[in-house]
Amino acid sequence: MTGRELLDDFKWRGLLAQSTDEDALIASLDAGPVSVYIGFDPTAPSLHIGHLVVLLALRRFQLAGHRPIALVGGATGLVGDPSGRNSERILNDEEVISGWVTGIRSQLEAFLVFDDSANSAVMANNLDWTRSLTALELLRDIGKHFSVNQMLNKDSVATRLNGGGISYTEFSYQVLQAMDFLELFRREGCTLQMGGSDQWGNITAGLDLIRRVEQGSAHALTMNLLMKSDGTKFGKSAGGAVWLDPKMTSPYAFYQYWFNCEDADVIAYLKFFSFANHATIDDLAVQVLEHPAKRAAQRFLAREMTTLVHGAEECERVELAAAALFGLGDLSQVAETTLAGALLQVPRATIARSMELPGLIELLAATGVVESKSAARRTIREGGAYLNNVKVTDEAFVPTRGDLLHDRFLVLRRGKRDIAAIEVS
């Protein structure tokens, strides 16, 4: 893929926000494999789906023949990038950050190819070149090249100055990120840094530092930050952030996040995240307009993203669980971990193992899937009550231990869509 084709694809997908001299960047991409880096600060034990915008952009560059560098900010993670919020980030202990760095590195390795090829991915940690750096060396060798006036003009800094103020710690973040670009320019011949559009000031500071210190030239490319069509933040669910770590967001919940996205958002998500070609995405866009109830685009997106992050086998297990929960499969065939993850997403109640199981009326009411015991009786009489996908018409029905799925779960359903669960613990 030529440089022009690569950037045109980014534009078509709505990814490209800003770049330095586009013609010069294209010429550089066409001249041979370019080393390109993106930084990921360890601010939590896992990356979340917001990180996928830039991470998958790095993957796209590798697929186009270029050399990706994934930098984990073991040093910058200790400092904290100033945000638009009027408060400082909580500084975590170095031991905590170190553990997060290890976990995030392993996640990054799943998206990029590390082999012996010319464009094999590289993993870097900026703690490697900052740990031994003295304060005097930072001030004399790096700090002298920065204009405070320019640093003050950065949006996140200006916002904080007009509000609650900013510490020197967070103010210095842009110096450290610029130094990362300089070090990777020296060590890896890296001539392109990418990031979210909010990183433009930090990235161009690195370009200026390379020019001043090494008399070299490099490039910057930023990507649009993704928002939902209703103006709310992308990547949040009812339970908070959607994480890549299956222990923090179950694969079932991960799949459902994508499957449940709005028609107004799904094509933008496909363009940002999917590796499907333009024709496939255009066809899905037509299906959204003509047959929205089929949710073909959402299903395609959910399958691709779950397979990408959790693997094809896990995606199959999730889809089996989703079908079984709504009466289209055998719940007993759903793996325990998958079922447990799925039932975290529905109303549920817990019963101690030492207790006798109550009747179905009490169970329905306890989960909140019906408003009251009288509503539960009415649901059973009208044929709308199900236990583990089996219709129950006897108001006096009491489940036994043998009804427990994996010796711990009962799945209740009212009608076709309202699901709840009982867990015996």
Quote the pLDDT of residue 85: 63
Average pLDDT over residues 208-220: 96
Q: Which pLDDT band, with edges at 50, 70 and 90, does 238 fall under?
A: low
Average pLDDT over residues 323-344: 91
Quote the pLDDT of residue 84: 58
CA distance 101 to 124: 11
Q: Which pLDDT band, with edges at 50, 70 and 90, does 175 fall under?
A: very high
183 close to 159: Cβ distance less than 8 angstroms: no
Residues 6+ apart with CB under 8 A from 380: 360, 361, 392, 393, 394, 395, 397
Average pLDDT over residues 135-146: 92
Q: Is pLDDT above 90 for 150? A: no
CA distance 424 to 352: 6
Quote the pLDDT of residue 83: 66
Quote the pLDDT of residue 82: 74
Quote the pLDDT of residue 281: 98
What residues does each domain of the chain span?
3-223, 235-330, 346-425
CA distance 113 to 119: 9
E strands, 212-252, in order: 219-223, 236-237, 240-241
- pLDDT tens, position by position, 356-411: 999 999 999 999 999 999 999 999 999 999 999 999 999 999 999 999 999 999 99
What's the CATH architecture for 346-425?
Roll (3.10)
Residue 168 buriedness (CB in 10 A; 0-12 / 13-18 / 19+): exposed
Q: Is pLDDT above 70 for 127? A: yes
Q: Which pLDDT band, with edges at 50, 70 and 90, does 151 fall under?
A: confident
Give me the CATH topology for the region 3-223.
Rossmann fold (3.40.50)
- pLDDT tens, position by position, 75-96: 988 887 776 566 677 788 889 9
Question: Residue holding tokens 């009288």?
Answer: 374
Question: Residue holding tokens 């084709």?
Answer: 5
Average pLDDT over residues 404-419: 93
Q: Is pLDDT above 80 for 155? A: no
Question: Residue holding tokens 């079908």?
Answer: 323
Token representation of residue 5: 């084709």
Give me the CATH topology for the region 235-330.
Tyrosyl-Transfer RNA Synthetase (1.10.240)
225 close to 198: Cβ distance less than 8 angstroms: yes
- pLDDT tens, position by position, 259-315: 999 999 999 999 999 999 999 999 999 999 999 999 999 999 999 999 999 999 999
Quote the pLDDT of residue 394: 94
Q: Is pLDDT above 90 for 108? A: yes
Q: Which pLDDT band, with edges at 50, 70 and 90, does 336 fall under?
A: very high
